Chains A and B, each alone.
Chain A
């Protein structure tokens, strides 16, 4: 067991967990930040995407002990009132079907647009191809990322 101080969404959270626990399960089981989703556990689907110092990472495959003093942002901390441009675009385009993968999609899109504020469609597809949507909302996701770039 290790006592870790994690910087998450602008606050420091102290947790006592096994060092090999993936960040995903610390967020969900220990901190109640359940917006970050479990789906594959092997960095294949992107449902667990969070930001580590602004980079989109798969939290299911990141041992919590390797986070250190890096800043974590989860879907709960992406914006205060749910009004990040990507969240707004997701609402305007009405992207979700079941919605389960969408927090991961949004986090990936937000990190991508931070680096590339006016991407081409091809760049959007390359960036978003790492997130699976089993309902097949891919057309709407493309549209929403393009829209968010303009907000």
Chain B
């Protein structure tokens, strides 16, 4: 039976306002199971908690607050960072509440999400933060009990002195301990004693996510704030004239203004803005290069044939190697522009005041957001606050501050708090893409099938250096030449999950497959023999990778996938090192009723120590799904400076029925943990393309696969066990 209640706008704003923007945290379900514990609100805990350091406060109630400074976009840092602190603290995870820290340059270093670098950067300092607090709690107990600290033990948020039988909780000692001076050095646990690290701890935001609490930037509302949307120009064009009469007539639109090269619509809610934006009549004129995809295909050919490429690496005598070669293998590979397309489109809230500004929203780089705002407003950066909401995906798009800058400018112009929302069409057509690149590879083989020469030339559109010259196979080949050349386009580009390597790995690993087969070598044996050479006598100068660790993942992937053992399975191999992590993958295709069926991808990963197996599996599987989806379907083409694909009906993202089974394995190399947000993605396109070749003799040298002639009548099916 329905009851009549009227939710006023004020009521909901009060709710949304106190909980959005990251202050709502993982209310601990497990804590509710404990009958003796009174569950305090976050505000109550925070008001009582004693700070130990930037990461950690403990309340007399026993509640432990751990701040996670880095933006959370699905890489699970908001769970894995606190796990490390809690481990060294010897905390009971049930007592831990995690809170997203806002931008604070004095407290935190490298408060950004990018490059899979957070864990390797912070591993030591997180451990020290936990260990220092534990040291102080023990010292406080020693003082109070009059016993030597060395006789005191801790476990699960409790402090014990066996000799006297005394015990206390961390909450009991919080006030005394927080007043003691922290030691400069503190000893850390032996990893074999870890109790939290290495266990599957659940995402701390699960409850909020699964019940629809306001967590994301787009969920932020504040009473009195305006909504805004922006019509941005095609790339290489500028506004000639604007007819906004029809747009202004839409009910709920308060203003339409031209700001720089954009048309900004202001309103009181989102829908009128979406309607009004479609009614704008804007004439544009060329303001530089106005490019189409056909121009890019021509530019690729010109760049690859030009002698103006920049030399990135040269080892040995390449000309001689190719002159003496028994066989030369050449191939070109091409990848299109891609949109990042996080599920939550770009958005940001800004409230510019007289000498300060408040910024709230989803950003991978809060510091860059603050710097950009300070520069626009001409006020000190310290006067800008940035509250980091949870991010509905990022994939590199939110490393850029363009959408924050817009919000700041709009708030300044209308002298009011405003949330700028991008529609999906704005998000896909609004720029900052994965650059398009075409590669030319050449390999020289001697009479025994050894690769004696290797050449790579990368031609990119706003790609910068489209090679990774110190990566494999550099170091494993005597004569190497690596070059890149780039075209400066008005189409904006930006890092996209595993920048450069997300397409270079596919191209290189597919080409190496071609070379191995031309040399009549097994693709795994071929790579291993190159790596043995790189290990025994590395060629040339600096190398970015560790041959032993790459060998480790190759052998594990081959073993776990039963490489080459089943004649009914066509397997494709790929291995790549990026962002300090090594990942090898094998794709399995079986023929069923005359059609190839992609059944499984097996991955072997060396990311050093695994902090959270659930989170790690998520990143490896998610990276593979992402790599496969974009290799198969992802394509952004241009017509006169405007993307042809504007929404998910044409810009195709992978769906559930398009992913195969994925088996995930780890190599325990004994190293400290490295990042996993990106490294599983690069190898996937190559593994799939190589398996397709093995099964069908069709070589896919261009992405997306489904748009290639070789693929049209292939009837590739994808199945899950």
Q: Chain A contacts of B202 at CB under 8 A?
A: 91, 94
A32 to B16, Cβ gap below 8 A? yes
A47-99 with Cβ < 8 A to chain B: 47, 71, 74-76, 78-79, 82, 87, 90-91, 94, 96-99
Is A96's CB under 8 angstroms from B203's CB? Answer: yes
Question: Which residues of chain B are near A33, meaning CB under 8 Å?
Answer: 212
B 675-686 binary contact with A (CB < 8 Å = 1; else 0): 000000000000
A121-151 to B contact mask, C-beta < 8 Å, 1/0: 1000110110111111111111000000000
Tell whether B272 is near chain A: CB-to-CB under 8 Å.
Answer: yes
| Residues of chain B lying within 8 A (CB to CB) of residue A101 | 343, 392
Query: Which residues of B are found within 8 Å of A76, using beta-carbon distances?
Result: 211-212
Q: How far is the CA of A86 from the CA of B521 in the complex (A)?
A: 50
| A84 vs B340: C-alpha distance when bound (angstroms) | 33
Given known pairs A134-B653, A135-B622, A136-B621, the reply for A99 and B392 (CB within 8 Å) is yes
Of the candidates B271, B341, B390, B656, which one forms a contact with A99 in the assembled complex, judged by CB atoms under 8 Å apart? Answer: B390
Query: Which residues does chain B contribute within 8 Å of A28, judged by CB atoms?
Result: 270
Distance to closest chain A CB from B511 (angstroms): 26
Complexed CA–CA distance, A31 and B8 (Å): 8
Contact A11 B3 (CB under 8 A): yes
How far is the CB of B616 from the nearest CB of chain A, in Å? 12
Within 8 A of A (CB), among B659-676: 659, 662
Contacting residues, chain A, for B452 (C-beta < 8 A): none
Task: Check B44 for interface membership: any CB of A closer than 8 A.
Answer: no
Residue of A18, A31, A103 near B272 (CB, 8 A) is A18
Known A32-B7, A100-B216, A125-B657: A40·B647 in contact at CB below 8 Å? yes
Which partner residue on chain B sits nearest A76 by CB separation? Answer: B212
Residues of B1-40 whose CB lies within 8 A of A: 2-7, 9, 11-13, 15-16, 20, 29
Contact B624 A136, beta carbon cutoff 8 Å = yes
Q: Is the CB of B342 within 8 A of A134?
A: yes
Interface flags for A1-39 (1: CB within 8 Å of B; 0: not) read 100000100111110001011100100111111111111
Q: Does B540 contact A (CB under 8 A)?
A: no
Asked if residues A99 and B215 are in contact (CB atoms below 8 Å), the reply is yes
Q: Which residue of A lies closest to B626 (CB)?
A: A136
Q: When the two chains form their complex, are residues B251 and A100 in contact, meaning their CB atoms are under 8 A apart? A: no
Residue from A1, A7, A31, A103 within 8 A of B12 (CB atoms): A31
Chain B residues with CB under 8 A of A18: 251-252, 271-272
Is B269 engaged at the interface, CB distance under 8 Å to the other chain?
A: yes
Contact of A42 with B344 in the complex, beta carbons under 8 Å: no
Q: Which 8 A-B pairs have the closest CB atoms?
A: A35-B212, A32-B12, A136-B625, A100-B392, A98-B74, A75-B212, A97-B74, A99-B209
Q: Which residues of B contact A (CB under 8 A)?
A: 2-7, 9, 11-13, 15-16, 20, 29, 73-76, 200, 202-203, 205-207, 209-216, 218-219, 221, 227, 251-252, 269-272, 274-275, 341-345, 390-395, 423-424, 614, 618, 621-626, 629, 647-649, 653-657, 659, 662, 720
- A-side residues, CB < 8 A to B, are 1, 7, 10-14, 18, 20-22, 25, 28-42, 44-45, 47, 71, 74-76, 78-79, 82, 87, 90-91, 94, 96-103, 106, 121, 125-126, 128-129, 131-142
